Amino acid sequence: MQVMTEHTERDGDYEHHGGFPVYAADPDNGGPHFGRLVEALRTVQDLAVSTAPPPEVIAQAAEQAEALAALLAPYTAPEGHYPAGRSVGLPGRGSLLMLPWTVEKFDRTGVRSTGVFRRYHMGGNGAAHGGVLPLLFDDLFGMITHAAGRPISRTGYLHVNYRKITPLETPLVVEGRVDRVDGRKTFVSARLTEPDGTLLADAEALMIVLLPGQP
């Protein structure tokens, strides 16, 4: 597997970033305790949407959450200078926004990632919310263009076909590739499946290379 690093970003045409900030992956993954913090916060997210504690417990939890926010607030940093989103060795690269999936393949032929949708991602009736699937695909498509050595791109369009209900707490696989390139346009596609290959959803997208100075 080709590791996502600063060197990868500087291969070939990838030097062209438009006006997008350039920052390297964090080889330390935020240090020895950052992954632990992210996982604890993910668990809190799961519990926040799936528990019904009494008012006194909610009050205590709110106080502790406010104390945690106050503890972290003095250390706000500019984009690209915090480990979230750059910790490539952690699920979801250490970002609470991204799905906590793990990249298993990352090269010019495509990207494959595995993981589960957690309680936090539930839409209804025990299934993953339909809105989190585009997030999963969009993040994957960004990695696919990166792995293919294409310059920094923005999503032009993203189309998702929902083929089957996507379960929670079930190991799943998402895999995609570049289909073709036309100038600034990179056409990509991907499939979300169960481990046995059962198709849950598929998607296609257009990624457009940024012009010089374009945000």
- Establish if 214 belongs to a structural domain: no
- Establish if 184 belongs to a structural domain: yes
Do 30 and 83 contact (CB within 8 A), yes or no?
yes
- Establish if 128 belongs to a structural domain: yes
In terms of residue numbers, what domain contains 197? 6-209
- Determine the Cα–Cα distance for residues 193 and 176; give it in Å rounded to an integer: 11
The CATH number covering residue 95 comes to 3.10.129.10
- Establish if 12 belongs to a structural domain: yes
Residue labelled with tokens 């996507």? 166
Q: Give the count of domains, the chain.
A: 1
pLDDT tens-digit profile of 40-96? 999 999 999 999 999 999 999 999 999 999 999 999 999 889 999 999 999 999 999
pLDDT tens-digit profile of 37-48? 999 999 999 999
- Establish if 144 belongs to a structural domain: yes
- Establish if 87 belongs to a structural domain: yes
- Establish if 92 belongs to a structural domain: yes
Do 34 and 88 contact (CB within 8 A), yes or no?
no
Query: pLDDT value at position 14?
Result: 55
Query: pLDDT value at position 7?
Result: 35
**What pTM does this model have?**
0.89
Residue 13 has pLDDT above 70, yes or no: no
- Determine the Cα–Cα distance for residues 121 and 130; give it in Å rounded to an integer: 9
Find how far residue 126's CA is from the centre of its chain. Answer: 22
pLDDT tens-digit profile of 153-178? 999 999 999 999 999 999 999 999 99
Q: Which residues contact 126 (CB under 8 A, 6 or more apart)?
A: 167, 168
Residue 11 has pLDDT above 50, yes or no: no
Q: Is the dihedral of CA 28, 34, 36, 39 positive or negative?
A: negative
